[in-house]
Amino acid sequence: MRTIVWFRGRDLRISDHEPLRTAAAAGEVIPLFVLDAELAAPEEARRRPHRTQFLLESLRELQSNLVARGTALIVVAGNSLELVPRLAAAWRADRVVAHRSTEPEGRVRDRVVAAALGDKLQLTEGETLFPPGVLRTLANTPYAVFSQFARSFRRSATIAKPLTSPRVLQPLPRDVRTRSAAIPSCDTLGIVHNPAVLTGGERAARRRLRQFARAAVNGYADGRDRLDLPGTSRLSADLHFGTVSVRQVWTEIEAVAHGTGGGEVFCNELIWREFAHSTLWDRPELLTEPFRPAFRGFPWQDDAAAWQSWAGGQTGYPLVDASARQLLGEGFVHNRARMIAASFLTKHLLIDYRRGEAHYLRFLTDADPANNNMGWQWSAGCGCDAQPYFRIFNPVSQGERFDPEGDYVRRWVPELAELPARFIHRPWQAPEGVLRDAGVRLGRSYPRPIVEHGFARARFLALATQHLRRSRTDSRRPANDVRELPTHPPGQPNQRG
């Protein structure tokens, strides 16, 4: 049997790769990757510099791993919708195997290719631990509350042992004659290689996983929230591009930290990933619309100056600015800093969460439509099991709690580095002498806050309350939808804050 193994950018590995294993067991294997316009066109790639860099490195390593096992990765530039069926015919392939796509764009692609190939296209699970869109409430609806989803997940999912990589693969069949395109380099795409971006590829992913399992998972329950410490796994880009499978991560962490606080909390985060993917599977429209209908038509403001300040890390709130600069500097942002920055953009500045979502998609190495959309909607208060709209992060107290010495800020906002910890998250309250000694000139070397926290909080609450009340009145939605609107008094704790 001759099989095309179609790698699609979410499974750039040879270990725990079921399509590759089944193809290898059945005979001839033709590993294929299609360079679509996003990658082949320099201007598109330059728009997403960090993830392009990571992807290219991962692809190169995949190629050399396949070569080391006796075969090669055939890289073809073009449109996969048209190319894959054409190559399958030209190469007389008996079948094309791949991991099933879980995101809307990939699902459309799979449908179109399946229409051309029929049952020759065989898709296997693997992007998530459990197939998305399967777990259901008793009323047979998708879960909208994470804790319920997580309980159901833990009851239902049995996680099989990861597969090892094939030791040897048959050489490419002689009659498969297509000139493989070169994998572009950052240089050819006009991207300046950024050494601060995580290294792509399976080897680096395994190293990160081992390092986290050995050194950090036990302290993860507390450490994950500390902005100044390396308390998290940094596996998000690997999980997105599939340089490690989520099953490999789950299994390794279960093996070293089963039943420990850190292990449990970490696996819970992997279940958040499952929840995000399952939610987007059931509701692809979330990529353009808020989960809570009451937020439709929210009067977001189009404030160009505020947007520039936020995106460029010049809001005058050190923690918010550190997160913006970390994003641009290394294509990563700590989870808590993402939450604070997203809350600030949407609630302090009243800017549509979808602008922030698009900005993150552009600059994050781990940019992932499902996780990113859930994160943004959660932060704006309009999402699935979201932080309630009336919960508004205070960037100062968050900084003091999760970056107590100000080291995160010092790293990313060096113009404040000499300030004492007491004022690092609130430089505008520092006495003149302290500012002078630290070399800080407010309004010159570092901005004053572009908006006052108390004022911004009250403004958002008034606007949101008014909007939600109006949409409740206008709504012709059934009563259970109306109940979904937040009605709790301000100040209620939330499970993730």
| Least distance in angstroms from the C-beta of 191 to ligand FAD | 19
Residue 74 and residue 178 in contact, taking contact as beta carbons nearer than 8 Å: yes
Residue 212 and residue 66 in contact, taking contact as beta carbons nearer than 8 Å: no
**What does DSSP say about strands 2-7 and 95-99: parallel, antiparallel, or unpaired?**
parallel
Question: Rule CB under 6 A: is residue 84 a binding residue for ligand FAD?
Answer: no
Distance CA 263, CA 182 (A): 41
Contact region for ligand FAD (CB under 6 A) — 138-146, 252-260, 268-276, 409-417? 268-276
Distance CA 87, CA 177 (A): 10
Distance CA 211, CA 217 (A): 9
* Contacts (CB under 6 A) with ligand FAD, residues 37-56: none
Nearest residue (CB) to ligand FAD, 63 versus 372: 372
Applying CB under 6 A, among 5, 320, 367, 424 the residue interacting with ligand FAD is 367
**What does DSSP say about strands 74-77 and 95-99: parallel, antiparallel, or unpaired?**
unpaired
* Contacts (CB under 6 A) with ligand FAD, residues 205-264: 224, 232-236, 239-240
Nearest residue (CB) to ligand FAD, 178 versus 268: 268
Angle at which helix 353-363 crosses helix 318-330, to 10 degrees, equals: 40
# residues near ligand FAD by CB under 6 A: 28
Distance CA 372, CA 391 (A): 20
Contact region for ligand FAD (CB under 6 A) — 60-68, 373-381, 402-410, 460-468? 373-381
| Least distance in angstroms from the C-beta of 230 to ligand FAD | 9
Question: Rule CB under 6 A: is residue 270 a binding residue for ligand FAD?
Answer: yes
Residues contacting residue 47 through CB under 8 Å, at least 6 positions apart: 362
Applying CB under 6 A, among 6, 143, 241, 272 the residue interacting with ligand FAD is 272
Question: Rule CB under 6 A: is residue 143 a binding residue for ligand FAD?
Answer: no
User: In 157-245, which residue ranges form alpha helices assigned H by DSSP?
Assistant: 186-189, 202-215, 220-223, 236-241
| Least distance in angstroms from the C-beta of 52 to ligand FAD | 15
User: In 331-405, which residue ranges form alpha helices assigned H by DSSP?
Assistant: 335-343, 353-363, 369-380, 395-402
* Contacts (CB under 6 A) with ligand FAD, residues 327-346: 335, 338-339, 342
Contact region for ligand FAD (CB under 6 A) — 190-198, 255-263, 360-368, 450-458? 360-368
Applying CB under 6 A, among 52, 65, 102, 371 the residue interacting with ligand FAD is 371
**What does DSSP say about strands 28-35 and 74-77: parallel, antiparallel, or unpaired?**
parallel
Distances from the Cα of 478 to the Cα of 137, 290, 381, 474, angstroms = 19, 18, 21, 12
Nearest of 382, 399, 398, 381 to residue 390 by alpha carbon: 381
Residue 403: alpha-carbon gap to chain centroid: 23
Nearest residue (CB) to ligand FAD, 184 versus 375: 375
Question: Rule CB under 6 A: is residue 366 a binding residue for ligand FAD?
Answer: yes
Residue with tokens 């919708």: 81
Nearest residue (CB) to ligand FAD, 24 versus 374: 374
Distance CA 282, CA 261 (A): 31
Question: Rule CB under 6 A: is residue 409 a binding residue for ligand FAD?
Answer: no
Applying CB under 6 A, among 31, 375, 383, 399 the residue interacting with ligand FAD is 375
| Least distance in angstroms from the C-beta of 228 to ligand FAD | 14
Question: Rule CB under 6 A: is residue 425 a binding residue for ligand FAD?
Answer: no
| Least distance in angstroms from the C-beta of 377 to ligand FAD | 9
Nearest residue (CB) to ligand FAD, 362 versus 459: 362
Helix, coil or strand: residue 490:
coil
Question: Rule CB under 6 A: is residue 426 a binding residue for ligand FAD?
Answer: no
Pattern 275-304, binding to ligand FAD, x per CB under 6 A?
-x----------------------------
Helix, coil or strand: residue 121:
strand
Contact region for ligand FAD (CB under 6 A) — 59-67, 72-80, 272-280, 425-433? 272-280
Distance CA 186, CA 172 (A): 28
Distance CA 69, CA 72 (A): 8
Residues within the interface to ligand FAD (CB under 6 A): 224, 232-236, 239-240, 269-270, 272-273, 276, 335, 338-339, 342, 360, 364, 366-368, 371-372, 374-376, 379
